[in-house]
Structure 1
């Protein structure tokens, strides 16, 4: 397989669906990830309500592989739980680095088209950027929630 074979018609179609999303002013967290290999960058913002993603935005300056991942994420992230998104990131890493299966779940079915990327290690980082950025946001939200709970636990009650 040649490197150019990675950029199949289906990959280019999915990448072409990537649209601009308005900035998310009231995001619970933001994260930016950069590929040192190709210079691709993805910045995401996430808002959670009732344990699910209720709002999402991104700014993407990436190759077609990074755009494909970002496009699928943007199309299907709303309503996803943090556990589902962490599992998705882990499944993508396993697919690319450990010869694992494509991610499970109907909403993520288009990610199977990225399976050939596993043969090109230098392209793994750009393909995984959006997943790493989303999990970074979730980790920030978790930490903020833990910090807030700890503050409440040590603060004296005021009457």
Structure 2
């Protein structure tokens, strides 16, 4: 990876997002807690979710990832409250398609992921970028299963 590619990849906007991740920490009594780890890079994300009326009512995340994984978690955290599991699954699928097959940026309110479009060319970074949304999708499933 050339130095100019790294500079472009780790833009000021990505670094600003990484420095200000919404909903950091843990919930006191989540309905579901899911930890995901990328074996390739060692990034890890733990997500706590509580649902009410089929929507995410409470959310917390503990993010130990590279700047790309942190910025992806920041975009998610900024818009996750009030979303349905179907919206989170659609986001996961859209983000995966954006990274892996040149798909469009996810729709609003998750259009902030456009900052990560340059990461398409760096397949070794995809897992870290997807961690928070994959953990959130799984946590939503677990919370709904518990609610019965």
TM-score, normalised on structure 2? 0.91
Q: CA deviation at 1:43?
A: 0.3
The 3-state SS of whatever aligns with 2:40 is coil
1:57 matched to which residue of 2?
A: 60
Residue 112 of structure 1 pairs with residue 103 of structure 2: no
Instruction: Tell me the alpha carbon deviations over residues 8-35 of structure 1, each in whole angstroms, 9 at most, x when there is no partner.
Output: 1111111121156342122111101111
Q: 1:83/1:19 Cα in 2 relative to 1: closer, same or farther (>3 Å)?
A: closer
2:135 matched to which residue of 1?
A: 133
**Could you say which structure has the larger radius of gyration?**
1
1:68 matched to which residue of 2?
A: 71
Residue 121 of structure 1, aligned match among 102, 120, 123 = 123
Q: CA deviation at 1:142?
A: 3.5
The gaps in structure 2 that reach 5 residues or longer are none
In 1, Cα distance between equivalents of 2:92 and 2:115? 16
In 2, Cα distance between equivalents of 1:136 and 1:99? 24
TM-score, normalised on structure 1? 0.85
Q: CA deviation at 1:143?
A: 3.2
Aligned residue pairs total: 145
2:30 matched to which residue of 1?
A: 27
Q: CA deviation at 1:81?
A: 0.9
Q: Which runs of 4+ in 1 moved over 6 A?
A: none
In 2, Cα distance between equivalents of 1:57 and 1:108? 17
CA contact (8 A) 1:46 1:53 kept: yes
The gaps in structure 1 that reach 5 residues or longer are 149-159
Q: CA deviation at 1:120?
A: 0.4
Root mean square deviation of aligned Cα: 1.5
